[in-house]
Structure 1
Amino acid sequence: MTETTQAAGPPPAPAHTGPPARSPGPWRRMWLWGTAHAVDDLYQGLVPACVPYFVLDRGYGYVAAAGLTLAAALGSSVPQPFIGLAVDRYRLGWLAGAGVAVAGVGLGLSGLVQPYPAVWALILLSGIGVAMFHPAAGKAARAAAGDSAAAMSVFAAGGSVGFLLAPVLATPLLVAMGVTATAVFIPPAVVVGVALLRHRPRPPAARSAARAGTDQWAPFLVLTAIETVRSVAFFGVLTFIELFWIRHLHTGRGAAGAALAGFLLGGVAGTLLGGRIADRLGLVRTVQLGGVLAVPALLGLRLAPGPVAPFVFAVLAGVALNIPFAVLVKLGQDYLPTRPGTAAGVTLGLAVSIGGLIAPALGVAAEHWGPQGVLWILCAIPVAALALGVFLTEPESGQTAEPAEAGG
Structure 2
Amino acid sequence: MALQDAWSEALTALKEQASEASFEGWVKSAFPLRMQGSTAVIGANSGFAKHWIEKKHADAIRQLLSQSLGFEIKLKVEIVERKEPLLLDEKLPVKPNPQTNLSDESIFQPLNPKYSFDNFVVGPTNRLAHACAAAVADEPSRTYNPLFLYGGAGLGKTHLMHAVGLNAVQANPDFRVVYVSGEQFTYHYVTSLREHRTAEVRRRYRSVDLWLVDDIQFLTGKERTEEEFFHTFNAIYETGKQIVLTSDRPPRDLELDSRLRSRFECGMLADISPPDLETRMAILQSKARTGCVALSDEVILYIARLITSNIRQLEGALIKLHAYASLMDAEVTPSLAEKVLGEYYTDNAPPVIDVAKIVGEVSDRFGIDPSEIKGKCRGKEIVASRQLAMYLARTLTETSLPAIGKAFGGKDHSTVLHACRKIEERLGRDRVFAAQVEEISRRLQHER
The TM-score normalised by the length of structure 2 is 0.21
Point out the structure with the larger helix share: 1
| Structure number, greater radius of gyration | 2
Point out the structure with the larger strand share: 2
**Structure with bigger RCO (C-alpha 8 Å, 6+ apart):** 1
